[in-house]
Amino acid sequence: MKDRLLEAEGANARAGPPQATERVLPTMNPDGSRRWLRPKPSQGAFWARRRIVAYALMAVFFLVPYLRMAGRPLMLLDLPRRQFTLFGTTFLSTDSMLFMLLMVSCLLAIFLLTAMFGRVWCGWGCPQTVYMEFLFRPLERWLEGGYNGSIRFDRRGGFQPRRLLKYALYAVLAAFLAHTFLAYFVGVEELAKWVRRSPVEHPVSFLVMLGTAAAIFFDFAIFREQTCLVACPYGRLQSALLDRQSLIVAYDARRGEPRQRGVVGRPESAGDCVDCGACVLTCPTGIDIRDGLQMECIHCTQCMDACDVIMDNVAKPRGLIRYGSRDRFEGRPGRLLRARVVLYPLVLAGTLGLLVWNLSARADTDVTLLRAGGAPFVREPDGTVVNQIMVKLTNRGSADRSYRLELLGTEGAHLIAPVNPVPVAAGAMRTLSVFVVLPPRRMPDDGMPVRFRVSDGLRYSGDFAYRLIGPDRESHPGEEGKE
Ligand code: SF4
Ligand code: SF4
């Protein structure tokens, strides 16, 4: 029995690891090991257009943190202070309604874009595709001797000097991109301080930078196209976001099938596909577009360029793989107007309208007066009554301001504030306690109405009603008030 078990173990070891019998991820071999993709570039008409777009976008991604609008950053996602600035408008943590409208508008815009143009963002605009296909992969091919060179390096394996040099350059690029990326979150001024100071002086920010650079290096050097295949949720949503009229990159099976390898001796019944595999070889996600619409397809158009060259060579019309809608590929009429492309813009116009209306109605200063919790008033031994009030000031402007607080029209009462005027930095919020001291007097049952004026001495001035409270006639001096 023992001998038989040993024999079976030996047979398994000779057979190697178990093999998948079904289709596996394009980045995986049937035995579960990583399949490294080295797509062969197809430099056709779409590649040329995408390259122009990609280099323009790289410049935009780099420059946006430096651009300003109305004296504020064009885009700054200040997470520690919970403030987002977009197109010169700052959203504070108290602007949850505005922020919700903005997020819903962005989602609707993505839904609309996908319903109309498919995954055009993935193929043309996503930073993952832009940097991977037009920076990291070209550098790899240049250093490793082109597409064939990379394949040779893979076969040889081990650490080879050119590959090490590639990873060293990748590390430099990752550090540069980490600085660009973090500029969106800390601002270019803060980033400049990080860069100039020694890491010993600011270890936390240095570690944040190091971690970000390491993540970017891992993404572009190791994880690569798997970000699109297994990590990004957008690809997984496409089956819900696309419809039969959405623009996709697809293979015209009616024209291409039955595929027939080679050009010599083709039967009359053969389709236009010569089964050359060029579309598979060039695909950066390693799929065969002839298998139909797949989640892994990022609509990068590389297979279109590859197939057009083959069609030219075999004297067939271009466009066996092309842009089109599923209905058109299946010979049904196209339909521009359908429910989702009507409803999405309508709802989007509504949310954007509400957002703009709310933004235009929003003052650049927010003032909130709140009764202090616990002991909102105190009656002093001499009979005076002191009300404690919390004042919350929000400065949405682009410049620092000082707000003066005044108490209006209450005879004999005076205001005590720890600081007055109150300085509040641009885009910041400040809360402080102030006290109103009332001379001994009878307090009406429903309290005493007063008005506060808050002004910055320049553009802003606002009056706010408030009701002071105090003890009833039976209360005793020194007693703390209860509400
Ligand atoms: S199938 Fe074509 S369009 Fe889709 S990812 Fe591959 S090469 Fe790009
Ligand atoms: S590149 Fe065109 S002809 Fe070649 S296998 Fe792909 S679809 Fe067929």
Q: Is 33 helix (H, G, I), strand (E, B) or coil?
A: coil
User: Residue 8: is its pLDDT beyond 70?
Assistant: no
pLDDT tens digit string along 56-91?
Answer: 999 999 999 999 987 788 999 988 778 888 887 888
Which DSSP string do the residues of 89-147 spell out, in sequence order?
A: EEE-TT-HHHHHHHHHHHHHHHHHHHHHHTTHIIIII-HHHHHIIIIIHHHHHHHHTHH
The residues that bridge with 83 in the sheet, in sequence order, are 78
pLDDT of residue 59: 97
Mutate to test the pocket of ligand 1, among 298, 308, 321 (most ligand atoms within 8 A of CB): 298
Which DSSP string do the residues of 422-474 spell out, in sequence order?
A: EEE-TT-EEEEEEEEEE-S-PPPTT-EEEEEEEE-SSS-EEEEEEEE----TT
Q: Which ligand is nearest to the CA of 296?
A: 1
* Least confidently predicted of 88-92, 298-302, 313-317, 415-419: 88-92
Residues of the chain with pLDDT > 90, as a percent, come to 53
Q: Is 56 helix (H, G, I), strand (E, B) or coil?
A: helix
User: Residue 197: is its pLDDT beyond 80?
Assistant: yes
Q: Which residues of 170-197 are buried (b: 16+ CB within 10 A; e: fewer)?
A: beebbbebbbbbbbbbbbeeebeebeee
- Report the range out of 20-29, 277-286, 362-371 with the highest average pLDDT: 277-286
Strand-strand pairing, 429-438 and 414-416: antiparallel
Q: What's the mean pLDDT when you consider all of the chain? A: 87
Structure tokens at 371: 């009764």
Q: How far is residue 39's CA from residue 460's CA, in Å, rounded to a whole number?
A: 61
Mutate to test the pocket of ligand 2, among 273, 301, 313, 314 (most ligand atoms within 8 A of CB): 273
């058109």: which residue's tokens? Answer: 328
Instruction: Fill in the amino acid letter for 477.
Output: P
CA 402 to chain centre: 35
Q: Is 249 helix (H, G, I), strand (E, B) or coil?
A: strand
Ligand 2 mean position, distance from CA 247 (Å):
20
User: Is 304 a pocket residue for ligand 2 (Cβ < 6 Å)?
Assistant: no
Ligand 2 mean position, distance from CA 248 (Å):
17
Provide residues with CB under 6 Å of ligand 1: 249, 282-285, 287, 289, 297-303
Q: How far is residue 307's CA from residue 263's CA, in Å, rounded to a whole number?
A: 14
Give the global pTM. 0.81
Structure tokens at 357: 């209306």
Q: Residue with the nearest Cα to atom 8 of ligand 1? A: 300
pLDDT of residue 476: 45
User: Is 297 a pocket residue for ligand 2 (Cβ < 6 Å)?
Assistant: no
Please answer whether residues 90 and 396 qualify as being in contact, where contact means their C-beta atoms are separated by less than 8 angstroms: yes
Mean pLDDT, residues 173-202:
92
Q: What angle do CA 330, 334, 337 make, to 5 degrees?
A: 145
User: Is 448 a pocket residue for ligand 2 (Cβ < 6 Å)?
Assistant: no
pLDDT of residue 12: 55
Mutate to test the pocket of ligand 1, among 285, 304, 321 (most ligand atoms within 8 A of CB): 285
User: Residue 478: is its pLDDT beyond 80?
Assistant: no
Q: Nearest CA to 208 among 186, 188, 228?
A: 186
Mutate to test the pocket of ligand 2, among 275, 288, 291 (most ligand atoms within 8 A of CB): 275
Q: Is 175 helix (H, G, I), strand (E, B) or coil?
A: helix
Q: How far is residue 60's CA from residue 184's CA, in Å, rounded to a whole number?
A: 12
Please answer whether residues 393 and 403 qualify as being in contact, where contact means their C-beta atoms are separated by less than 8 angstroms: yes
Q: Nearest CA to 235 among 245, 248, 244?
A: 248
The residues that bridge with 455 in the sheet, in sequence order, are 404, 461
Ligand 2 mean position, distance from CA 328 (Å):
20
Q: Which ligand is nearest to the CA of 41?
A: 1
Ligand 2 mean position, distance from CA 224 (Å):
25
User: Residue 373: is its pLDDT beyond 90?
Assistant: no
Please answer whether residues 38 and 298 qualify as being in contact, where contact means their C-beta atoms are separated by less than 8 angstroms: no
Q: Residue with the nearest Cα to atom 6 of ligand 2? A: 279
Q: Residue with the nearest Cα to atom 3 of ligand 1? A: 299
CA distances, 13 to each of 2, 28, 29 (Å): 17, 21, 18
Q: How confident is the model at residue 9 (pLDDT cuts 50, 70, 90)?
A: low
Q: How far is residue 205's CA from residue 196's CA, in Å, rounded to a whole number?
A: 12
Ligand 2 mean position, distance from CA 318 (Å):
11
User: Residue 291: is its pLDDT beyond 90?
Assistant: yes
Domains detected in the chain: 1-30 (no CATH), 36-362 (no CATH), 365-468 (2.60.40.10)
Q: How far is residue 149's CA from residue 140's CA, in Å, rounded to a whole number?
A: 10
CA 212 to chain centre: 15
What's the farthest any 2 CA atoms get from each other in the chain?
Answer: 114
Residue positions counted in the chain: 483
Count other Cβ atoms within 10 Å, centred on residue 153. 20
User: Residue 477: is its pLDDT beyond 50?
Assistant: no
Q: Residue with the nearest Cα to atom 2 of ligand 1? A: 303
